[in-house]
Structure 1
Amino acid sequence: MEKHGRSEMEMVPSEPHSFIKLLKVNREHLVTHIRNTQCLLDNLLQNDYFSTEDAEIVCACPTQPDKVRRILDLVQSKGEEVSEFFLHVIQQLADAYVDLRPWLSEIGFSPSPLIQSKAVVNTDPVSRYSQKLQQQLGQDSKFILCYAQKEELLLEQMYTDTVVELVNFSNESLGSLDSLACLLDATTGVLNEQGEIIFVFGDAGMGKSMLLQRLQSLWAAGQLDPGIKFFFHFRCRTLSCFKKSAALCLQDLLFKHYCYPEQDPGEVFAFLLRFPHTALFTFDGLDELHSDFDLSSEPDTSSPWEPAHPLALLASLLSGKLLKGARKLLTARTGVEVPRHLLWKKALLRGFSPSHLRAYTGRMFPERAVRQRLLDQLEANPNLCSLCAVPLFCWIIFRCFQHFHDTFESSPQLPDLTVTLTDIFLLVTEVHLNRTQPTSLVQQNTRSQTETLRAGRDTLCSLGRVAHRGMEKSLFVFNQDEVQASEVREGDLQLGFLRTVPELGLGEEQQSYEFFHLTLQAFFAALFLVVDDKVGTRELLRFFQEWTPPEEAVATSTCFPPFLPVQCLGGRGLHGEDPFKNKDHFHFTNLFLCGLLSKGKQKLLRHLVPTAALRRKRKALWTHLFASLRSHLKNLPRVQSGGFSQVQALPTFIWMLRCIFETQSEKAGQLAARGICANYLKLTFCNACSADCSALSFVLHHLRKRLALDLDNNNLNDFGVRELQPCFSRLTVIRLSVNQITDSGVKVLYEELTKYKILTFLGLYNNQITDVGAGYIARILDECKGLTHLKLGKNKITSEGGKSLALAVKNSKSIFEVGMWGNQIGDEGAKAFAEALRNHPSLTNLSLAFNGISTEGGKSLAWALQQNASLRIFWLTKNELDDEVAESFAEMLKVNQTLKHLWLIQNQITAKGIAQLAEALQKNTGIMEICLNGNLIKPEEAKVFEDEKRIVCF
């Protein structure tokens, strides 16, 4: 924007309120920067300041500057009021006259009440286009996309929040998201100021697409950042519909294939190029962007006017080569990684917590009696309840329950006892196949599941053929030819398994289809592999090779097409590297294959598959599954640590456990248990959810030995704790930190762990435990006499919970370490811990950091340490300790010679208090360091203590 080369005297009229003079003085500046004359004409006409003849005179001018000059001439000739209104229009329509904002600010223009009362209409192309986008996204996001195509469920009525956490580059939690608007907030969770991508990831079915739909709805309603004027939403899988030969410029991709401006598209696009920060792009499902298109053969696209393949445009948008400064929100399944230099934020979807599930139940079943009946059934079946932590599976289960409620006169009943994911998908298949049955008010449909599946065999085969062909190529959108080639009939399309692709115009002119979710496509692909007689052993086991590390799979690898995200996000030329960063679609197919070929499903499937073929496929699967399991367990990395033989499991191990659980084969569970030779199983950051605890217990309850189990940094919540019950009798170490566990889960731990009393380590850091849960943990400490380590930091424990825990610590003869960082026990809780410290026989490490402890609490702790000979490390970082507390600790140091490390970082101690501590060290030879970083001391004051190396100030 050019700088104004005029003095202030030239900017402001010489006489008061001379708007005519103002326009004359700044005439050429206005001619240079006014590009939109239509808005001015529309408003001058509407308020009767211009006649039709005036407008015709202006429109007859050959160039835009000439039009501006003629408007200025006419406005000035009509007097001060019209001149003032002219400036008012420019001020009100900021987008249309963006270049004049600084000038209007400099002249301090403020319209009179008369002018303010005049209506200003916004006919600016940019504003009109933004309004059109809002209307379109508002309509598109109004109803929830669901597989029952005849249903229309309002998003506003049905949407339920899930647990969303901001995470760092290493996927460690930075705290839960308060609202979706926080995703765009520059004050929270920013990892890289130069990055432009907000990366939202989570397992299949966790609600990534629903989150974007809600975000669209909020923007359309004006409830997001008002600075976002453009919102462009693309589903990555639909971009694969473009032919290899397709080439279009960025303007065509945005306008012709998304939403076309009603007027002046060139002006709208020019605004977007000038102000890319006003645009938000969302790209849903990067991991589903599989294509035969080879991006490496395409030149980089940095020109917005140069035609290129849509995938090349996508790559350039994500890398910032196009529209640098625009915010991009990208979703993908867990396992896909985005280069750090492109990231602005990362957010992890963790699904439904127990409270979210209750809220969702209330929305789905507003009738109280029906809702309570469902909740009672879920409460009685922890396995089913844990499946409901995944929003997609929860929705499917609830729809099946609703079907039973609407169909049968008796109380609807969900499956009893252990339910696998295969059971749920067979159930939903049965429900939808029964849609074809005629309904009657006097006669109910009494077909069994076997009869229903047998009657729908042809439908299942044709849909399975479509799913399998897509799975082979990692494609999730199918054109009409592909659907017809698989012999899918019109009636099959009405069942709701396949739906039409919502976006029209992306690629082929003919209709395209997709399964309502990737997991359903995987289920039908597995069903095809089981039911089709022509499928041989090699083809049956094809997707199991995705368990094999790349270097081991070279000899047997199938030639898959390249995976765009690796290329488009800076991974070109990675020869020999597995292009699939996420393989869930293969793993789900394997999982359903194990479920369908399990012993319990033979009776059902023998009506669909010849007995000999079924027996052959089952034998091949079991042989391969057992061999893969043995090989995987043998090759897991091991380390000797803390007296344990520790094995670090990988996410693939979680998938194997899921498959074993689907088989419901005790033999497979026993084999897996025998393969775990180590006595410390580490499953941190494996993205395990509560349903995985069912699979883990299915294996671990076969162990004969005791085991340490580390499940930190997963997504287990209270459902997962309940599912671990069968293996608590084996566990001596339980680490469940960062897992969304509440008091309800802690109660289960208390009830189970006190039965066996073998616990030595309990880790519950960074959960949602309150004083109620702290009471249960205190009772665990009272009854488990061998408990040595207790980690309870960053929960919601106050003084009451602190006092309960302190009393249990006081009475414990075994406790070695207690971590309470980041709670709020305050001075009352600190005084209780002071009582626990007096003459304690075993407590060696204690953290009361960041607990709101001030003078009284700090002095109590210092005095107590005068009567303690066990504590070696004491953390009191980030409290409110002052010089008075420092004096008390100085007195303590003259007596206590066993404390080694004292951390008083980030408190309110001044040079005076530090001097007292330094003086006390003259009489203490035991302590090794007193850390005082971040206190109220200046660098020049700290120089006094340079000779005392045990005082650390900076």
Structure 2
Amino acid sequence: MEKQGHSEMESILPESHSYIKLLTINRELLVTHIHNTQCLVDNLRENDYFSAEDAEIVGACPTQPDKVRKILDLVQSKGEEISEFFLYVLQQLTDAYVDLVPWLLQIGFSPSKLIQSKAVVNTDPVSRYTQKLRHQLGRDSKFILCYAQKEELLLEETYTDTIVELVGFGNESLGSLDSLACLLDHSTGVLNEQGETIFVFGDAGVGKSMLLQRLQSLWATGQLDAGLKFFFHFRCRMFSCFKESDTLSLQDLLFKHYCYPEQDPEEVFAFLLRFPHTALFTFDGLDELHSDFDLSRVPNTSSPWEPAHPLVLLANLLSGTLLKGAAKLLTARTGIEIPRQLLRKKVLLRGFSLSHLQAFTRRMFPDRALQHRVLEQLEANPNLCSLCAVPLFCWIIFRCFQHFHSTVDSFLQLPTFTVTLTDVFLLLTEVHLNRTQPTSLVQRNTRSQAEAYQAHLATLRSLGQVAHWGMEKNLFVFSQEEVQASDMQEGDLQLGFLRAVPELGLEGDQQSYEFFHITLQAFFTSFFLVVDDKVSTSELLRFFQEWAPPGEAAATSCSPHFLPFQCLGDSGLAREDPFRNKDHFQFTSLFLCGLLSKAKQKLLRHLVPAATLKRKRKALWAHLFASLRAHMKNLPRTQYEGFKQVQAMPTFIWMLRCIYETQSEKVGQLAARGICANYLKLTYCNAYSADCSALSFVLHHFRKRLALDLDNNNLNDYGVRELQPCFSRLTIIRLSVNQITDSGVKVLYEELTKYKIVTYLGLYNNQITDVGATYVARILDECKGLTHLKLGKNKITSEGGKCLALAVKNSKSIFEVGMWGNSIGDEGATAFAEALRNHPSLTNLSLAFNGISTEGGKSLAQALRQNSSLRIFWLTKNELNDEVAESLAEMLEVNQTLKHLWLIQNQITAKGIAQLADALQKNTGVMEICVNGNLINPEEAKVFEGEKRIVCF
């Protein structure tokens, strides 16, 4: 025998393959690390190795180590086969005997075919609890619970991916996620290695809850990380059901209020505490957390056994004070921020792109002819299609038209007129109300929308009363008593607006309810405020008070609400914008504007006395105008290259949405008059294509020329189409990072060449190919005043590059061209070289990261010998070598006007850099040549320390 290893996990292996000897030699190792004896006894009995008497003998032992010793004594006394089977059980049940996995690998245990044919029964508590969790989550995630109640929509048949984007601390894009499994990947998008929480955010309806439901389904079917043994899903709104005095331990929160282990809960909890990295926690809707309990004054709790308020447990789980190392995924609506020290990743959901929308249409309308008709009609109505960028609204629209297609007419006709969000929710309500109407093939339901609302006015009032009560208190879950207090009937609950809360235990055995989405609660709140005659104008405007300037808001607001980020250790965070983080209030205000609009008076006159309606409309419009003026007055302004620039906030987007909802040209004109700037900056406002409809509704009344910066939003091609009324005013158009394809660029070409006033066109980081590049080239040809063109990080190859280069060559006005991150290669570079020769105006050019190598690099160098306009030239991240460096050096002896040359991250060695340095002896114009990231080491770089214009590191 030979001694191996230096730790208790290493063993003495016998020369012969005697399993009895192996157990003898490693007896104390096994006694120390086997904690589950019952699982061993169960399997030994199941395979007739142990008798009932043997099991009784083991059970009579007073301590766990004694039980292990007795099992070993009995096993070894019965021979080699049972000893081998004993090891086989340890190998197969890794959850139960996790500490022995390294030892089993070390000894190279490989069971015989006879032993492999034996059945191993997993009675380990951890494994059984994992199975129970998988069953529960599989059941709960099978159907789409968050949108539908009466219809059984299978998640697998309905779920469609959306745009999921990794972002930085400042919400700058870090690239899209390829799959949901990548959310948990430790190699991508990590902002803070010490952070515990993956933070997923996005606007209401973009699919945050659906994403979590999909994750649950993937884990339940074993398609997520195999190392995850626990998945705990909580919705933050449920924590509001606990009383301020309630306390419980972490174990009780997980087991009694989520899923209870069928056996040995202490052992399961001990495993979780010991291996927290095997658990995934998801918390949905931080913004829906409400309490009057000020957690900023509560100390942290690091003990998993010490009782604390559930909100304290939530905060400490997210921070990692409890169960450090467990994966925690938290969702919230746009505007909520959590402290940076908690963040591991930030993930932004942007809703449907055009391709996602097409995929969802195929799922919702399997019949190909119908599917084709729907897509055709969506294409004909960009306004409606823009609303469909938000998955929830898309689902509502499609379900409504499915309903009408099946019950009214065999021909499905989507509207061709302008559709507002209020129209969509009115239609949704009508569809749900008509469920109670008998239908047959002989007699169709032909009652109008007004008749449907009249017939169910009592029901709608009751729903509105519940919704309004919750909205005032920032609550989204209602007890049975609260629902009954509104005089709601049992039949009303069957309409599908309210659904039973899936979680059990938080309110004992009493049933709780919630609206199927927060936007529906907002709709019924506004409906109640409009139709209830007892609602005063001050109560009507309650949620508009959030728009008031900070001082005024403080004087008129109701009692302060609990801010969810206080419990995360950031209680000193100032609320610069009082309207942030409360888009349930914003939706309520938006629906108020829609319901009180002129277009809806025909419907409402059957539900509300005319005098009441007039009084409420007058009060709303007066307050809307005052709010808009106050907001615009307080926006920060700067001077920018001759423009008066205003940095608009997301609140401005909400105001535009409300103004658009009125569909009043007079309101649009007054709003346009209030914009006292000619450069609107709306970057990072999370604007959707539908917001372009609202923006155009106001801006087409703006009589002066205008600059519009919409970079880093989610506009897509439909947003570009919705901007058409504005193009006659726009001189600067920035649409970078907006999911725009060639189709959107075609619209830009058609519109911009009508007016020929554009000077700046920004389309960086979109999805433009060579087809789109030809349209951009035509814009450059026809718009003689275009000075700036940004096309970096698209999908343009040499063909598109050549087309653009020719347009640049012919332009007498172009000042700056950005082509970073395309694939124009040497052919495209050669074409740009031709454009550079004797160009009169091009000053800044970026061809970085374009796959340019020797041939293209030399062509550019030679062309620059005949250029006196270019000042800045970026060639970073290409494949330029010493041969190109030599050509550039020769060029520098002639060209005295180039100021900045960036050759970062190429393939130039010290030899090439030496040639560039030598050329600088004859060149006084160049201010810097950046060559860091090339094939040069620090020792070689020391040679060039005397030439300050050569930047090596």
**TM tier, smaller:** over 0.9
- When residues 576 and 808 of structure 1 are mapped into structure 2, their CA distance, relative to the original with a 3 A threshold, is closer
Task: Find the counterpart in structure 1 of residue 949 from structure 2.
Answer: 950
The one-letter amino acid paired with 1:635 is N
In the TM superposition, residue 56 of structure 1 has moved relative to its aligned partner by: 2.0
| Mapped partners of 1:577, 1:723: distance in 2 | 31
Q: CA deviation at 1:843?
A: 0.7
> Where does 1:730-741 land on structure 2 (aligned, <5 Å)?
730-741=729-740
Deviations 1:900-952 (A, max 9, x none): 10000011111000011011111111111100011111111111111111111
| Deviation larger for 295-304 or 702-711 | 295-304
Deviation at 1:51, TM superposition (A): 2.4
1:43 matched residue in structure 2:
43
CA contact (8 A) 2:146 2:517 kept: no
Q: What amino acid sits opposite 2:795 in the alignment?
A: K
Q: 1:283 deviation in Å?
A: 0.3
CA distance in 1, matches of 2:936, 2:97: 53
For 2:436, the aligned partner's letter is T
| Residue of structure 2 equivalent to 1:648 | 647
Match of 1:200 in 2: 200
Residue 463 of structure 2 corresponds to 463
Letter in 1 for 2:702: L
Tell me: CA distance 1:838–1:7, structure 2 relative to 1, closer, same or farther (3 Å): closer
Letter in 1 for 2:265: P
CA contact (8 A) 1:404 1:413 kept: no
Which one is further off, 540-549 or 327-336? 540-549
SS of 1:161's equivalent in the other structure is coil
SS at match of 2:287: helix
- Unaligned 5+ runs, structure 2: none
After TM superposition, the structure 1 = structure 2 runs for residues 432-451 of structure 1, keeping only pairs within 5 Å, are 432-451=432-451
Shift of 1:52: 2.6
SS of residue paired to 1:349: strand
Distance 1:549 1:124, change over 3 A: farther
Corresponding residue of 2:661:
662
2:749 maps to 1:768: no
Tell whether the 8 Å contact from 2:546 to 2:579 is kept in structure 1 after alignment: no
Listed one character per residue, the Cα deviations across residues 1-39 of structure 1 (whole Å, up to 9, x for unaligned) are xxx996799822343212222211221221111100112
Query: Paired residue for 1:189?
Result: 189
Residue aligned with 1:555, SS: helix
Match of 2:70 in 1: 70
Deviations 1:566-619 (A, max 9, x none): 222112366998898511011100000011111111121111111111111111
* Matching of residue 623 in structure 1 with residue 622 in structure 2: yes
Amino acid at match of 2:531: V
**In the alignment, residue 227 of structure 1 is paired with which amino acid?**
G
- Residues in 1 aligned to 2:575 and 2:629: alpha-carbon distance in whole angstroms: 26
| Aligned mates of 1:201, 1:13 — CA distance in 2 | 55
| Alpha-carbon separation, structure 1, partners of 2:585 and 2:215 | 30
| Alignment correspondent of 1:366 | 366
- Which range is displaced more, 704-713 or 296-305? 296-305
Q: Which residue of 2 aligns with 1:403?
A: 403
Match of 2:135 in 1: 135
1:554 is paired with a residue whose SS is helix
Task: Report the CA distance between 1:153 and its aligned residue.
Answer: 1.1
Show CA shifts across 1:780-834 (max 9, x none). 1111111110001111111111111111111111111000111111111111111
**Contact 1:908 1:936 survives alignment (8 Å):** yes
CA–CA separation in structure 2 for the residues paired with 1:571 and 1:581: 16
Q: Aligned to 1:452, what secondary structure does the other structure show?
A: helix
* Shift in alpha-carbon separation, 1:103–1:880, aligned structure 2, 3 A: same
User: Partner of 2:706 in structure 1?
Assistant: 707
Deviation at 1:99, TM superposition (A): 1.7
Residues 63/84 of structure 1: CA separation in 2 closer, same or farther (3 Å cut): same
CA deviations 1:76-108 (Å, max 9, x no partner) are 112223222222221222221112223333333
Q: Which residue of 2 aligns with 1:795?
A: 794
Paired with 1:894 and 1:638, the residues of 2 have a C-alpha distance of 46
When structure 1 is superposed on structure 2, of 864-873 and 571-580 the one drifting more is 571-580
Q: Distance in 2 between matches of 1:194 and 1:626?
A: 47
Residue 72 of structure 1 aligns to which amino acid in structure 2? L
In structure 1, distance between residues paired with 2:257 and 2:459:
34
Q: How big is the shift at 1:136?
A: 1.1
Question: In the superposition, relative to structure 1, how do residues 459 and 914 fare at CA in structure 2: closer, same or farther (>3 Å)?
Answer: same
Which residue type is aligned with residue 636 of structure 2?
A: P
Residues in 1 aligned to 2:635 and 2:580: alpha-carbon distance in whole angstroms: 20
The structural deviation recorded for 1:298 is 4.3
Query: Given that residues 795 and 822 in structure 1 are in contact (C-alpha distance below 8 angstroms), is that contact kept between their aligned partners in structure 2?
Result: yes
Paired position in structure 1 for 2:896? 897
> Equivalent residue of 2:507, what SS?
coil
**Cα 1:577–1:953, aligned 2, differ >3 Å: closer, same or farther?**
closer
Checking the alignment, whether the CA contact within 8 Å between 1:147 and 1:496 is kept in structure 2 is no
Per the alignment, residue 25 of structure 1 pairs with 25
Quote the sequence identity (%).
Answer: 83
Question: Per the alignment, do residues 545 and 360 of structure 1 end up closer, same or farther by CA in structure 2, a change over 3 Å counting?
Answer: same
Q: Please tell me the residue identity of whatever aligns with 1:788.
A: T
SS at match of 1:24: helix
2:210 alignment counterpart: 210
Answer whether contact 2:146 2:210 (CA < 8 A) is retained.
Answer: no
Distance of 2:579 and 2:257 partners within structure 1: 28
Once the two structures are superposed, residues 636-680 of structure 1 have per-residue CA deviations (whole angstroms, 9 ceiling, x without a partner) of 111001121111111111111000000111111111111112111
Q: Matched residues in 1 for 2:188 and 2:430: separation? A: 46
- On the 8 A contact 2:759/2:788 being kept in 1, the answer is yes
Aligned to 2:389: 389
Read off the aligned partner of 1:860 and give its amino acid letter: S
Of 748-757 and 302-311, the range deviating more from structure 2: 302-311
Asked if 1:724 is matched to 2:704, the reply is no
Name the aligned partner's letter for residue 681 of structure 1. Answer: L
Aligned to 1:907: 906
Stretch moving more, 49-58 or 177-186 = 49-58
Aligned counterparts, 1:404-803, within 5 A: 404-563=404-563, 565-572=564-571, 582-803=581-802
Q: Which moved more, 1:397-406 or 1:546-555?
A: 546-555
Give the Cα separation in 1 of the matches to 2:493 and 2:44: 56
CA–CA distance in structure 1, aligned partners of residues 906 and 279 of structure 2: 44
> C-alpha separation between the residues in 1 aligned to 2:575 and 2:674?
31
Distance in 2 between residues matched to 1:833 and 1:949, nearest whole Å: 30
Deviations 1:484-534 (A, max 9, x none): 111111111111111111112122431111011111100100011110000
Q: Residue 157 of structure 2 aligns with which residue? A: 157
Of the structure 1 ranges 405-414 and 415-424, higher mean CA displacement relative to structure 2 is found in 405-414
Structure 2: distance between partners of 1:410 and 1:79 = 77
SS of structure 2 residue aligned to 1:231: strand
Instruction: Give me the whole-angstrom Cα distance separating, in 1, the residues matched to 2:942 and 2:454.
Output: 86
2:858 aligned with 1:870: no
Structure 1 stretches lacking a partner, 5+ long: none
Residue number in structure 2 paired with 1:859: 858
Structure 1 position 841, deviation (Å): 1.1
Query: How many Å apart are 1:741 and its aligned residue?
Result: 0.8
Contact 1:13 1:19 in 2 (8 A): no
Query: What secondary structure, in the 3-state scheme, does the structure 2 residue paired with 1:240 have?
Result: helix
The CA distance in 2 between the partners of 1:700 and 1:625, in whole Å, is 17
- Segment of structure 1 superposing worse, 853-862 or 110-119: 110-119
Distance (whole Å) between structure 2 residues aligned to residue 357 and residue 168 of structure 1: 27
Q: Is the 8 A contact 1:777 1:805 kept in 2?
A: yes
Spell out the pairing of 1:76-91 with structure 2 (5 A cutoff). 76-91=76-91
Mapping of residues 116-135 of structure 1, within 5 Å: 116-135=116-135
User: Equivalents in 1 of 2:550, 2:325: separation in Å?
Assistant: 37
Equivalent pair of 1:479/1:513 in contact (CA under 8 Å) = yes
Contact 1:243-1:507 at 8 Å conserved across structures: no
The alpha-carbon distance between structure 1 residues 5 and 772, as it changes in their structure 2 partners (threshold 3 A), is closer
* Structure 2 Cα separation of the partners of residues 446 and 114 of structure 1: 73
Q: CA deviation at 1:297?
A: 5.6
CA distance in 1 between partners of 2:931 and 2:36 (Å): 62
Q: Distance in 2 between matches of 1:183 and 1:146?
A: 22
Question: 1:486 and 1:566, CA in 2 relative to 1: closer, same or farther beyond 3 A?
Answer: same
SS in 2 for 1:595: helix
Aligned partner letter, 2:398: F
Letter in 2 for 1:885: V
Structure 2 letter corresponding to 1:309 = H
